[in-house]
Protein backbone atom coordinates (compact mmCIF):
# COMPACT_ATOMS: atom_id res chain seq x y z
CA UNK A 1 0.00 0.00 0.00
CA UNK A 2 1.38 3.38 -0.94
CA UNK A 3 2.25 6.00 1.61
CA UNK A 4 0.72 9.45 1.44
CA UNK A 5 2.72 12.28 -0.10
CA UNK A 6 2.05 15.98 -0.48
CA UNK A 7 1.10 15.23 -4.09
CA UNK A 8 -1.58 12.70 -3.08
CA UNK A 9 -3.28 15.15 -0.72
CA UNK A 10 -5.95 17.63 -1.69
CA UNK A 11 -5.15 21.32 -1.33
CA UNK A 12 -7.12 23.08 1.41
CA UNK A 13 -9.25 24.76 -1.27
CA UNK A 14 -9.97 21.50 -3.12
CA UNK A 15 -10.67 19.65 0.12
CA UNK A 16 -13.20 22.31 1.15
CA UNK A 17 -15.04 21.67 -2.13
CA UNK A 18 -15.16 17.87 -1.85
CA UNK A 19 -15.08 17.38 1.93
CA UNK A 20 -18.67 16.21 2.42
CA UNK A 21 -18.48 13.65 -0.39
CA UNK A 22 -15.01 12.45 0.67
CA UNK A 23 -16.10 12.12 4.30
CA UNK A 24 -19.16 10.09 3.30
CA UNK A 25 -16.97 7.78 1.22
CA UNK A 26 -14.47 7.33 4.06
CA UNK A 27 -17.21 6.64 6.63
CA UNK A 28 -18.66 3.91 4.38
CA UNK A 29 -15.14 2.49 3.95
CA UNK A 30 -14.53 2.51 7.73
CA UNK A 31 -17.65 0.42 8.38
CA UNK A 32 -15.79 -2.49 6.77
CA UNK A 33 -12.71 -1.89 8.91
CA UNK A 34 -14.21 -1.62 12.40
CA UNK A 35 -14.22 -4.73 14.58
CA UNK A 36 -15.98 -4.69 17.94
CA UNK A 37 -14.27 -6.91 20.50
CA UNK A 38 -17.09 -7.20 22.96
CA UNK A 39 -18.89 -4.16 24.30
CA UNK A 40 -15.89 -2.15 25.49
CA UNK A 41 -13.07 -2.65 22.98
CA UNK A 42 -12.76 -1.83 19.29
CA UNK A 43 -10.18 -2.33 16.56
CA UNK A 44 -10.17 0.29 13.82
CA UNK A 45 -8.03 -1.06 10.98
CA UNK A 46 -6.20 1.76 9.24
CA UNK A 47 -5.17 2.10 5.60
CA UNK A 48 -4.24 4.80 3.12
CA UNK A 49 -7.81 6.10 2.84
CA UNK A 50 -8.43 6.33 6.58
CA UNK A 51 -5.08 8.05 7.08
CA UNK A 52 -5.67 10.48 4.22
CA UNK A 53 -8.90 11.51 5.88
CA UNK A 54 -7.07 12.07 9.21
CA UNK A 55 -4.36 14.14 7.54
CA UNK A 56 -6.81 16.17 5.46
CA UNK A 57 -8.86 16.95 8.55
CA UNK A 58 -5.76 17.99 10.53
CA UNK A 59 -4.60 20.26 7.71
CA UNK A 60 -8.10 21.77 7.49
CA UNK A 61 -8.58 22.31 11.22
CA UNK A 62 -5.08 23.71 11.77
CA UNK A 63 -5.10 25.59 8.43
CA UNK A 64 -1.77 24.02 7.54
CA UNK A 65 -0.49 24.84 4.07
CA UNK A 66 3.28 25.14 4.45
CA UNK A 67 5.33 22.26 3.03
CA UNK A 68 7.31 21.50 6.21
CA UNK A 69 4.19 21.42 8.38
CA UNK A 70 2.38 19.18 5.88
CA UNK A 71 5.36 16.83 5.90
CA UNK A 72 5.23 16.66 9.70
CA UNK A 73 1.62 15.45 9.49
CA UNK A 74 2.56 12.88 6.83
CA UNK A 75 5.45 11.67 8.99
CA UNK A 76 3.05 11.24 11.92
CA UNK A 77 0.32 9.34 10.03
CA UNK A 78 2.16 7.35 7.34
CA UNK A 79 3.46 4.78 9.87
CA UNK A 80 -0.18 3.74 10.42
CA UNK A 81 -0.58 2.59 6.79
CA UNK A 82 -0.05 -1.18 6.37
CA UNK A 83 2.83 -2.21 4.12
CA UNK A 84 1.44 -5.37 2.50
CA UNK A 85 2.43 -7.95 5.10
CA UNK A 86 0.67 -6.54 8.12
CA UNK A 87 -2.42 -4.87 9.50
CA UNK A 88 -2.26 -1.70 11.52
CA UNK A 89 -5.05 -0.78 13.86
CA UNK A 90 -6.10 1.77 16.40
CA UNK A 91 -7.26 -0.19 19.46
CA UNK A 92 -9.66 1.62 21.74
CA UNK A 93 -10.90 0.68 25.20
CA UNK A 94 -14.32 2.30 25.39
CA UNK A 95 -16.25 2.86 28.63
CA UNK A 96 -18.71 5.77 28.32
CA UNK A 97 -18.81 6.52 32.06
CA UNK A 98 -15.68 8.45 33.11
CA UNK A 99 -15.40 6.87 36.57
CA UNK A 100 -15.89 3.35 35.22
CA UNK A 101 -13.34 4.02 32.44
CA UNK A 102 -10.76 5.25 34.95
CA UNK A 103 -11.28 2.19 37.16
CA UNK A 104 -11.18 -0.25 34.25
CA UNK A 105 -8.03 1.27 32.72
CA UNK A 106 -6.38 0.52 36.06
CA UNK A 107 -7.52 -3.12 35.87
CA UNK A 108 -6.75 -3.63 32.15
CA UNK A 109 -3.00 -2.97 32.23
CA UNK A 110 -1.39 -4.84 29.35
CA UNK A 111 -4.63 -5.48 27.44
CA UNK A 112 -2.99 -4.21 24.25
CA UNK A 113 -0.71 -7.26 24.34
CA UNK A 114 -3.62 -9.65 24.86
CA UNK A 115 -5.42 -8.83 21.63
CA UNK A 116 -5.11 -11.59 19.03
CA UNK A 117 -6.06 -12.46 15.48
CA UNK A 118 -6.16 -15.96 14.02
CA UNK A 119 -6.35 -17.16 10.44
CA UNK A 120 -7.86 -20.62 10.14
CA UNK A 121 -6.17 -22.95 12.61
CA UNK A 122 -2.76 -21.28 12.26
CA UNK A 123 -1.07 -19.80 15.36
CA UNK A 124 -2.49 -16.67 16.96
CA UNK A 125 -1.08 -13.39 15.73
CA UNK A 126 -0.23 -11.09 18.66
CA UNK A 127 0.29 -7.38 17.99
CA UNK A 128 3.34 -5.26 18.33
CA UNK A 129 1.87 -2.47 20.45
CA UNK A 130 2.63 1.22 20.70
CA UNK A 131 5.85 1.39 18.72
CA UNK A 132 5.80 5.19 18.81
CA UNK A 133 5.60 5.59 22.61
CA UNK A 134 4.66 3.70 25.75
CA UNK A 135 0.99 4.06 26.62
CA UNK A 136 0.79 1.94 29.77
CA UNK A 137 2.46 2.16 33.15
CA UNK A 138 2.20 0.26 36.42
CA UNK A 139 -0.99 2.13 37.39
CA UNK A 140 -3.10 2.09 34.23
CA UNK A 141 -3.27 1.50 30.52
CA UNK A 142 -4.31 4.04 27.92
CA UNK A 143 -7.72 4.05 26.28
CA UNK A 144 -5.98 4.23 22.87
CA UNK A 145 -3.21 1.99 21.50
CA UNK A 146 -1.67 1.55 18.07
CA UNK A 147 -1.18 -2.08 17.04
CA UNK A 148 0.69 -3.78 14.21
CA UNK A 149 -0.18 -7.38 13.33
CA UNK A 150 2.56 -9.06 11.25
CA UNK A 151 1.39 -11.91 9.02
CA UNK A 152 3.50 -14.72 7.61
CA UNK A 153 3.28 -15.70 3.94
CA UNK A 154 1.46 -18.86 5.06
CA UNK A 155 -1.15 -16.82 6.93
CA UNK A 156 -1.66 -14.45 3.99
CA UNK A 157 -2.08 -17.37 1.57
CA UNK A 158 -4.52 -19.14 3.89
CA UNK A 159 -6.65 -16.01 4.26
CA UNK A 160 -6.68 -15.36 0.52
CA UNK A 161 -7.69 -18.99 -0.04
CA UNK A 162 -10.75 -18.72 2.18
CA UNK A 163 -9.54 -19.45 5.72
CA UNK A 164 -11.71 -18.10 8.50
CA UNK A 165 -10.59 -14.97 10.31
CA UNK A 166 -11.08 -14.80 14.08
CA UNK A 167 -10.11 -12.23 16.69
CA UNK A 168 -10.28 -11.75 20.41
CA UNK A 169 -8.80 -10.64 23.70
CA UNK A 170 -7.55 -12.97 26.43
CA UNK A 171 -6.76 -10.58 29.27
CA UNK A 172 -7.49 -11.79 32.83
CA UNK A 173 -10.15 -9.09 33.26
CA UNK A 174 -11.55 -8.95 29.69
CA UNK A 175 -12.05 -11.96 27.45
CA UNK A 176 -13.84 -12.09 24.12
CA UNK A 177 -13.68 -14.21 20.99
CA UNK A 178 -15.15 -13.29 17.61
CA UNK A 179 -15.35 -16.37 15.39
CA UNK A 180 -15.71 -15.77 12.52
CA UNK A 181 -15.02 -12.12 11.87
CA UNK A 182 -17.71 -10.74 9.54
CA UNK A 183 -17.03 -11.38 5.86
CA UNK A 184 -17.13 -7.70 4.88
CA UNK A 185 -14.29 -6.98 7.34
CA UNK A 186 -12.35 -10.06 6.23
CA UNK A 187 -12.57 -9.00 2.56
CA UNK A 188 -11.53 -5.43 3.38
CA UNK A 189 -8.47 -6.63 5.33
CA UNK A 190 -7.40 -8.95 2.51
CA UNK A 191 -7.05 -5.82 0.36
CA UNK A 192 -4.22 -4.65 2.67
CA UNK A 193 -2.08 -7.67 1.83
CA UNK A 194 0.26 -8.26 -1.11
For residue range 120-178, what is the model confidence (pLDDT) as tens digits? 999 999 999 988 777 777 889 999 999 999 999 999 999 999 999 999 999 999 999 99
CA angle, 143 as apex, 22 and 84 as ends, to 5°? Answer: 50
Q: For residue 118, list its beta bridge partners.
A: 166
Q: Is the peptide bond before 81 cis (omega within 30 degrees of 0)?
A: no
Buried b (16+ CB within 10 A) or exposed e, 10-23: beeeeeeeeeeebe
For 91, half-sphere exposure in the C-beta direction (CA atoms, 13 angstrom radius) is: 28
Domain ranges of the chain: 1-31+48-81, 83-194
More confident residue, 191 or 1: 191
Q: Residue 68: what pLDDT?
A: 96
pLDDT digits (tens, 9 = 90+) for 84-101: 999 999 999 999 999 999
Closest CA to 89 of 153, 140, 35: 35
Contacts of 13-22 spanning 24+ positions with Cβ under 8 A: 15/56, 15/59, 15/60, 16/60, 19/56, 19/60, 22/53, 22/56
Q: Residue 137: what pLDDT?
A: 77
Could you tell me the pLDDT band of residue 52, with boundaries at 50, 70 and 90?
very high
Quickly count: other Cβ atoms within 10 Å of residue 194's Cβ. Answer: 9
Judged against a pLDDT cut of 80, whether residue 8 lies above it is answered with yes
Closest CA to 124 of 80, 84, 179, 79: 179
Q: For residue 86, list its beta bridge partners.
A: 150
Reported in sequence order, the residue ranges of the chain that DSSP labels E, i.e. its strands, are 34-36, 41-46, 86-93, 115-119, 128-129, 144-150, 165-170, 175-178
Q: What is the mean pLDDT of the chain?
A: 95
At 148, phi and psi to the nearest 5?
-125, 125
At 15, phi and psi to the nearest 5?
-60, -40
Amino acid sequence: MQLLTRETLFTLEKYAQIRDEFREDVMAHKRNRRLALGTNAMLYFEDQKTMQYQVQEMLRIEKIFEADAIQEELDAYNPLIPDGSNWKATFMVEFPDVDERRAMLGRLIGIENNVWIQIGDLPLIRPIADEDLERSDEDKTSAVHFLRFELSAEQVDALKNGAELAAGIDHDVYQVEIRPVAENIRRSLINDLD
